[in-house]
Structure 1
């Protein structure tokens, strides 16, 4: 009898162990490639952990990449070799290229009425919806480049926020506050734009510039609106030495060097992401929208980072990926993400969240990105699968880093981009 009882208990334990093992095996793993700064990384890990613990069907397996560009480049290799993840986080322009190349899944079949797609901000919905109605990604969080400045130093020199309302007046402020030592070396810069084409493009938009003509046939960034703006920045950086650019380095190194200059009193201010707010000290700094150019109103770009499911992802993994996307973007979580990182929430209902309402009351700088989004230029979608943007990035390096006149850099870039645009138009 004892032997039979022991045998029964042993069999039960084995069966129980097998059942647990089978349940564990049944849990679908979803590899997720993403990037971001320090606080977004912390918040992303937190939400992934909460999601994994909230249900027993899926496990999100995160894989942090060096930056958004590295994520995109690695993804191309993964798609070619069959090792792509089930979920990615990409810049908006790259997400559009993925769709143009038919490399992502349509999210509409995964959406239910309770998902409330119409609750997402209209500008962000438009960004991830193609002309045929396919929804090729989900807005993860909104971003736009705004101004951050040392409010105490600005006041010390007799200036106010209004003196930062045009790029010309900001340059005057920058000149007034720039300091040099006895050897003529700059010890304190008036302003630091962020390396890359983005800030220069924003300023050109604020001078009435367009990347391509409305009919989609002609490249326009070799026009006076662009050349005037870009060459002004070149002179402010390389001739007047009232501005500085940090470039190169690993991952986000250039970004944090720029922030450090302002936080450690080596520069008055810089142009940076709305998402920088989580890393900044607003007892010292203040934020405001980007300037206009002359008589033109400010029109910088605003866009969303995009979550996508690569083409060929299994149905089970796609369902798991979308379940996490739903969790990540619900009103409470997108509001929490915004409060912690400074990025723009993607759902309208986030503004009704009690915690968010209390937060923005105590942290008014959190409203600056939302204010700028209302007057912003929509994300430029490159019809050449990235060739136009690549040409602009090369031109920006030539102007910002190599001190090549903007007319030379932009005209050369425009010729390259025009050839790419002509080819793209012929294919359609």
Structure 2
């Protein structure tokens, strides 16, 4: 064969190979940045892999970006640099920040309508729809992993301390924490997500306002008002228990949760999404019960508010990316897929159909723990104090609240002074957010 004929043959073969391989290059990749670690990281990867296997036009590429705050900060920085992901998981307290980021997002209701994908906000649990919607009812982001706060209970530790059943009220919790401390010197009671639990959830559960204007849902020009005798009483009791570690502080986020699974803390307030870790690591009998309440408060318990996160679609993406994202959201909305997500992750089933199917299957009879947050969320119809919250800059404001609670627990401030300062400093930050983000 001459060199010319060989070259022509080789070129023909190469052209055939390129043509055969070219469909692979037509796949549209969609970056999905998230904050799911541990067992729930596996759930995220499975959802992405299942979607990718279900069709050949789009590929969801999940990337773990650290904590919720880390993921939000990374996404904002990436948007400013012009390389934001297509989908970003943002925790619920970042909602106002995302809403105020002009041009950074594409509302999910708008996306689904443009792409002709079925999307009915009424199919989701009302408390979830309301949290992520505008005042007109248009959904801004796609609900993904919603949770609520519950109290995890080491039943073996209670039995050892002579306690017959899990406590229901705060006075019972305080008493039981002292009894548990007698058998566990370093911790009777603790909590994660301290501001979510002791300020946000506590206020909603007792039907008292965190801030004016329906906790900010009716406008950014809101004021914090949670420095009342009720909230102060809670902090005062915990300060007293902290002195001998009947209550022992475990930090601002959920880094201390291992204190429950190790058996160190007999009572532990944290997210219902802690379930997979407890199931995998606890070597004792355990359960989860509803958050405690003060029985002398007229409307308590009211209903809890959601935690967790939603998926935000970032602005400035190609038509093909948006088409793929819309199809992925339709894929995630499938009832059986929602049932899987709920049962595996410990997060709430976000659609009514998924909740009803899970309940009808008898799942909760064998796994009552996973219905506890749903019962909290639907305990009573939401009020202006318990629909949710939307405060600008809340990620940073939570750090200020934590500083004040920490100062009280360390004996550097009275509980009243700490709560007054938390409200005052928080209000200053709200005004700063209004000036920078616009009303």
- The reply to whether TM is greater than 0.5 is yes
Given the alignment of the two structures, is residue 286 of structure 1 paired with residue 290 of structure 2, yes or no?
A: no
Distance 1:179 1:337 in 2: 39
State how far apart, in whole Å, the 1-side matches of 2:254 and 2:424 are.
30
The CA deviation at 1:268 is: 1.0
Q: Which of 374, 380, 391 is 2:378 aligned to?
A: 374
SS, match of residue 266 in structure 1: coil
2:336 and 2:354 in contact (8 A); partners too: yes
Name the counterpart of 1:307. 311
* Worse-superposed segment, 393-402 or 327-336: 393-402
1:109-188 to 2 correspondences below 5 Å: 109-111=110-112, 112=116, 114-161=118-165, 164-179=167-182, 187-188=185-186
Equivalent in the alignment of 1:219: 224
**Structure-2-length-normalised TM-score:** 0.84
Instruction: Give the alignment of 1:290-369 within 5 angstroms.
Output: 290-296=291-297, 297-298=300-301, 299-353=303-357, 357-369=361-373
Whole-Å separation in 1 of the counterparts to 2:60 and 2:226: 42
C-alpha separation in 2, matches of 1:390 and 1:189? 24
Match of residue 412, structure 1, among 408, 412, 421:
421
TM-score by length of 1: 0.86
Does the CA-based 8 Å contact 2:276-2:345 persist in structure 1? yes
Aligned to 1:38: 38
The aligned residue for residue 392 of structure 1 is 401
Structure 1 stretch displaced more, 376-385 or 261-270: 376-385
> Superposition pairs for residues 75-114 of structure 1, below 5 Å?
75-102=75-102, 103-111=104-112, 112=116, 114=118
> Partners of 1:30 and 1:22 in 2: how far apart?
19
1:298-322 Cα distance to aligned partner (Å, 9 max, x none): 3443245110011222222222223
- Equivalent runs, 1:193-208 vs 2, <5 Å: 193-201=191-199, 202-208=201-207
- Mean Cα deviation higher: 309-318 or 199-208: 199-208
Unpaired segments ≥5 residues, structure 2: 215-220
When residues 425 and 61 of structure 1 are mapped into structure 2, their CA distance, relative to the original with a 3 A threshold, is closer
Range moving further from structure 2, 351-360 or 333-342: 351-360
Give the C-alpha shift of residue 159 in structure 1: 2.7
Note the C-alpha offset of 1:223: 2.2
Please, which moves more after superposition, 334-343 or 7-16? 7-16
Question: Within 2, Cα distance between the matches of 1:379 and 1:138?
Answer: 16
Secondary structure of 2:122's counterpart equals helix
Task: Name the Cα RMSD after superposition.
Answer: 3.1
Cα displacement (A) at 1:12: 6.4
The unaligned stretches of length 5 or more in structure 1 are 181-185, 249-253
Distance 2:135 2:120 in 1: 21
Instruction: Name the count of aligned residue pairs.
Output: 415
Q: Distance in 2 between matches of 1:9 and 1:305?
A: 56
